[in-house]
Amino acid sequence: MAHFEEWEIVLHGRRAVYRVAGDGPAVVLVHGMLNSSSHWHEVARSLAASHTVLAPDLIGHGDSAAPRGDYSLGAHAAAIRDVMAAVGIERATIVGHSLGGGVAMQFFYQFPQRVERLALVSSGGLGREVSPLLRTAALPGVSPLLSLTINPRLLGAIRAAGTGMRERGMGQGAYLQAMARALRPLQSAGAREAFLQTLRSVIDVRGQRVSATDRLYLLEALPTLIVWGDRDNTIPIEHGRSAHAAIPGSFFKTLPGVAHFPNLEDPDGLAAALLEFMASTEPASTEATEDWGAILEGRSPRTRRGERALA
């Protein structure tokens, strides 16, 4: 199988890390919060048999630099654009998991000419509800608490518990292993700050504070796949179903027995869904500003100030 090699470049004076594999039409895999490009390993190796697969570490995640600065969805989307440009990928199918789903939708909104298809995996940005753990983590004063609780002994215990559960055939073990891998970088003060800035840009104590639901109509002309685990307790599967209903022509795939990390819990099932989606759809092409304006104007009729639109 293809090697999922790690590379490092310097963008705007800061370290940017990405992994790449395969050859063929491009697919960009965008990881979720506290994850990294390495979490796509098994999915990427399956896709790489027929595609060029690019998976960047988002700013402040994985081995990419964690500068003091902007961690909004737009900043993450712009960073992905820069990595794509640096490695020579002009257009791609964009796949986003969890936070990465919100980044993927923002990427399409900012750079529609670079997107051929969109796949949202257990995506954020499609409703307010989110797990109590993430809402709690968004509270003020959490950073000192994280520094006290994130230590090698705790992470080792979580990882060992996950390994034991997986050996007994319990799917929740993959979730614990993913948690241990995700929490390990938070031993660094810079990574903790980057995590909290990213988290607070999209979540507050009431839940998700950023929503793409008012712009889902923009995806009507874009091949869109929505994938969800039917045991997801982090972001409700109802968000995916509602988005599917709101996007004409979209595809919806449920992965049975899977929670919030399909890329880790069922990488073969997720890869198969992505391959089928790409094989059965033609890439979209939004080539110019006029195309984007036509999409917007088609659903946003203009009226002069002081006049009322006709019914």
Residue 134: the pLDDT is: 65
Q: What is the pLDDT of residues 172-222, one digit of tens each?
A: 666 666 666 666 666 566 666 777 777 677 766 776 777 888 889 889 889
pLDDT tens-place string over residues 221-269: 899 999 999 999 889 999 999 999 999 999 999 999 999 999 999 999 9
Q: Rounded mean pLDDT of 117-130?
A: 91
Which domain range does residue 40 map to? 5-130+210-295
Per-residue pLDDT at 306: 45
The residue behind tokens 């979490």 is 39
* DSSP, residue by residue, the chain: ----EEEEEEETTEEEEEEEE--SSEEEEE--TT--GGGGHHHHHHHTTTSEEEEEPPTTSTTS---SS--SHHHHHHHHHHHHHHHT---EEEEEETHHHHHHHHHHHH-GGGEEEEEEES-SSS-S---HHHHHHTSTTHHHHHHHH--HHHHHHHHHHHHHHHHTT-THHHHHHHHHHHHGGGGSHHHHHHHHHHHHHHEETTEE----GGGGGGGGGS-EEEEEETT-SSS-HHHHHHHHHHSTT-EEEEETT--S-HHHH-HHHHHHHHHHHHHTSPPP---SHHHHHHHHHHHS----TT-----
**Is pLDDT above 70 for 277?**
yes
Q: Is this model's pTM higher than 0.85 or not?
A: no
Top pLDDT among 304 and 267 is at 267
What's residue 65's pLDDT?
72
Question: Which of 74-83, 113-122, 164-173 bottoms out in mean pLDDT, i.e. has the lowest?
Answer: 164-173
Residue 37: CATH number of its domain: 3.40.50.1820
- Within a domain: residue 309? no
The secondary structure of residue 114, as a DSSP letter, is G
Where does the pLDDT of residue 311 fall: very low under 50, low under 70, confident under 90, or very high at 90 and above? very low
Residue 209 identity (one-letter amino acid): R
116 in a structural domain: yes
The number of domains in the chain is 1
20 versus 63: the higher-pLDDT residue is 20
Residue 164 lies in a domain: no
Residue 278 scores a pLDDT above 60: yes
| pLDDT top residue among 180 and 62 | 62
Assess whether pLDDT exceeds 50 at residue 309. no
Write down the pLDDT at residue 95.
98
Does the structure show a pLDDT above 50 at 300?
no
Contact indicator for 59, 15 with CB cutoff of 8 Å: no
Q: Is residue 9 part of a domain?
A: yes
Residue 188 falls within a domain, yes or no?
no
pLDDT digits (tens, 9 = 90+) for 127-186: 887 767 665 665 565 555 455 455 566 666 766 777 787 777 776 666 666 666 666 666
Task: Evaluate if residue 68 carries a pLDDT over 90.
Answer: no
Structural domain contains residue 178: no
Query: In a 3-state reduction of DSSP, which class is residue 117?
Result: strand
The predicted structure's pLDDT at residue 215? 87
Flag whether 154 is in a domain. no
137 inside domain: no
Catalytically active residues are 98, 232, 260
Residue 303 has pLDDT above 60, yes or no: no
